[in-house]
Amino acid sequence: MNKQLADMSIQELAPKIENKEISPVELVEACLQRIEETEGDLNAYISILGDQAREQARQSETEIVNGFYRGTLHGIPFAAKDLYATKGIKTTAGSKIFQDFVPDYDSTTVTRLIDAGAILVGKNNTHEFASGGTNENEHFGPARNPWNPQMIPGGSSGGSAAAVASSSAVFSLGTDTGGSIRMPAALCGIVGIKATYGRVSRKGVFPLSWSLDHAGPLTKSVWDAATVLSVLAGYDPMDPTSSDEPVPDYASALESGGDRPLAGLRIGWCQAYYFDNLDPEVKLLIDQAMLVLSDLGADIREVKIPYLEQMVQVHSFISAAEMYAIHAQNFSTRSEDFGSNIRPRIETGKEIPAGAYLETQRLRQNYQEVWSNVYQEIDLLVAPTTAIPAFQVGAESITLNGQEVNPRDLGILGRTAPSNFNGYPAISVPCGYTTAGLPVGLQIQGTPFEESLVFQAAYAYEMATAWLSKKVPLVNLNRNERIEKKQEVIPMVKTEKQNLDVLLPILAELSKSLPADAEPAAFFTPKKVSMSSKLVELIR
């Protein structure tokens, strides 16, 4: 009974909670039980907040029984990546440096969820300081994939994704600086969205790289993602990059809309970068997904986007430099307390010259023009979220298209970074499984502040495929007892320092295209792309 309860989505649970068919108390209990059953395998949490969650559940129950139903998220258990400040609750950022840090404030997003009645059950494991795509955390142990605990869940929001995929939380909060929401969502077979830069407040979320950081939800379905984003999004005076664009009710706009709900929608795909060097199984699944979109009425067309790969490479001039600025003080006095796989990243940041950083910010601003032009021909862009499925925790190398590669190297795993560089909204939805039973994600990128259209397409796709209801992660089966968390020592694979000798010439080449009046994008708001009136109709 409890198991079924925990496995439900917000969309299924909310009406039952409102009708008092389900009590938040039993729901929270179901999630806490699921944590006990799975945590030994998954290590998805750094802190589990059993007592606090039970107490809040009782309060919620009382409110609802007394007729004070706050809305869709009332009584829904959620988890937050341990980068989100939580008042009175240890917030480690997955690091040894902050292992005992207890903030005296909540991040804006956590406050919004709690005000909406959601119940925090735990703080998720994460790649240290959110700086990596595997969640191979040296201080708290790696988080693992519910579909196969030998495998990484993806990162950096790996614990958040594993928790939702294994139903120990109904939804979770992650952060995304280069793909850290979308990649683990894809590898764990759930939905994750990074909205437009400025759409969701980052106040109280430990920064990795201010000008690329995004906060957002990981959920079991598109409808759930739309619902949570409606609560998270909106202007926050405490976040200087926050946008005051009005926030629509994303979920209420979702409609299945007959046989061809995507009729008239132009969906683009780009071979360069996005479809380069894909795992053949991933490639096949994405091709199939595009056929489904086409069947749903979308006009699928190929587009060419210049310099994508180079932009992704120079991206690190921004992220590494800002990361170093954040950690400079601690790094100079206690570098040994930083994990061995993030130390090289910080070292990279130390060496980047200011000129290269600024030149990259200029390129970034200038590149908005390129994206804006691309979206004159299309309404949405689709791509694989990751080029490969989850790989083994600690694996030194994998074989990809006949070559031995370190899967942590730039360009191997994720196809997500361009949306951080341009600030456009992008979602990952499950689009099938490899023969080994590992999930694969389809990524859909829209234009600034048009999350609605992204949801619309993702929802239509999800309705048509229903991958979610087909399979349940293996880890959920046949478990009724508490599994002890293993204290394991895992071999940590070193990441390489980025090679400036390679990157600087790429930057120099790109810079030649810059007009003299190009300015850096220190804190930019992505430029809205004008849309055809037909499209506007389609969204409304």
Q: How far apart are the first and last CA of the chain?
A: 39
Q: In angstroms, what is the minimal distance from the CB of 175 to another protein? A: 14
Of 85, 44, 26, which is closest to residue 168 (Cα–Cα)? 44
Q: Which of 522, 532, 534, 537 binds another protein (CB under 8 A)?
A: 522
Q: Looking at this protein, which amino acid is placed at residue 63?
A: E
Instruction: Spell 164-187 as b/e; 16+ CB within 10 A means b.
Output: bbbbbbbbbbbbbbbbbbbbbbbb
> Distances from the Cα of 62 to the Cαs of 6, 17, 75, 348, in angstroms?
21, 12, 11, 53
Choose the stretch contacting another protein; rule: CB under 8 A; options: 19-27, 42-50, 256-264, 327-335.
327-335
Contact status, residue 186 vs residue 206, Cβ threshold 8 Å: no
- Give 235 or 299: the residue with its C-beta nearer to another protein: 235
- 448 binds another protein, rule: CB under 8 A: no
- Give 23 or 313: the residue with its C-beta nearer to another protein: 313
Q: Is 419 a catalytic residue?
A: no
Quote the tokens at residue 475.
Answer: 């880890």
Out of 156, 209, 221, 319, which one is annotated catalytic? 156
Q: In angstroms, what is the minimal distance from the CB of 363 to another protein? A: 11
Query: From CA 260, how far away is CA 446, in angstroms rounded?
Result: 20
Query: From CA 444, how far away is CA 18, in angstroms rounded?
Result: 32
Of 151, 164, 386, 183, which is closest to residue 275 (Cα–Cα)? 386
Q: Which of 114, 284, 292, 325 binds another protein (CB under 8 A)?
A: 325
- Contact flags string 191-210 toward another protein, x per CB under 8 A: ------------xx-xx--x
- 537 binds another protein, rule: CB under 8 A: no
Out of 81, 194, 203, 220, which one is annotated catalytic? 81
Note the Cα 261 to chain centre separation in Å: 26
Q: Is 256 a catalytic residue?
A: no
- Give 32 or 320: the residue with its C-beta nearer to another protein: 320
- Give 45 or 524: the residue with its C-beta nearer to another protein: 524
Query: From CA 226, how far away is CA 193, in angstroms rounded?
Result: 9
- 334 binds another protein, rule: CB under 8 A: no
- Give 14 or 318: the residue with its C-beta nearer to another protein: 318
Q: Is 372 a catalytic residue?
A: no
Residue 300, strand partner residues? 267
Of 216, 151, 147, 149, which is closest to residue 179 (Cα–Cα)? 216
- 102 binds another protein, rule: CB under 8 A: no
Q: Which residues have a Cβ under 8 Å from the Cβ of 3 and sit 6 or more positions away?
A: 30, 34, 476
Residues 342-361 that bind another protein (CB under 8 A): 349-359
- Give 182 or 362: the residue with its C-beta nearer to another protein: 362
**Helix, coil or strand: residue 386:** strand
- 241 binds another protein, rule: CB under 8 A: yes
Q: In angstroms, what is the minimal distance from the CB of 200 to another protein? A: 15
Q: In angstroms, what is the minimal distance from the CB of 320 to another protein? A: 8
- 371 binds another protein, rule: CB under 8 A: no
Out of 95, 168, 172, 180, which one is annotated catalytic? 180
Whether the ω angle into residue 211 lies within 30 degrees of 0, i.e. cis, is: no
Q: In angstroms, what is the minimal distance from the CB of 476 to another protein? A: 37
Phi, psi at residue 227, to the nearest 5°?
-65, -45
Q: Which of 365, 372, 397, 406 binds another protein (CB under 8 A)?
A: 365
- Give 334 or 482: the residue with its C-beta nearer to another protein: 334
Choose the stretch contacting another protein; rule: CB under 8 A; options: 25-33, 304-312, 453-461, 515-523.
515-523
Q: Residue written as tokens 């380069």?
A: 276
- 248 binds another protein, rule: CB under 8 A: no
- Give 167 or 348: the residue with its C-beta nearer to another protein: 348
Choose the stretch contacting another protein; rule: CB under 8 A; options: 130-138, 139-147, 381-389, 513-521.
513-521
Number of shown-chain residues binding another protein (CB under 8 A): 45
The secondary structure of 491-527 as a DSSP string is PPPPPPPP-HHHHHHHHHHHHTT--TT----TT--PP
What DSSP state is assigned to residue 151? B
- 84 binds another protein, rule: CB under 8 A: no
Query: From CA 219, how far away is CA 189, in angstroms rounded?
Result: 10
So which residues are the catalytic ones?
81, 156, 180
Positions touching another protein (CB under 8 A) are: 203-204, 206-207, 210-211, 240-241, 317, 321-322, 324-326, 328-329, 332, 349-359, 362, 365, 500-501, 504-505, 511-512, 516-517, 519-525
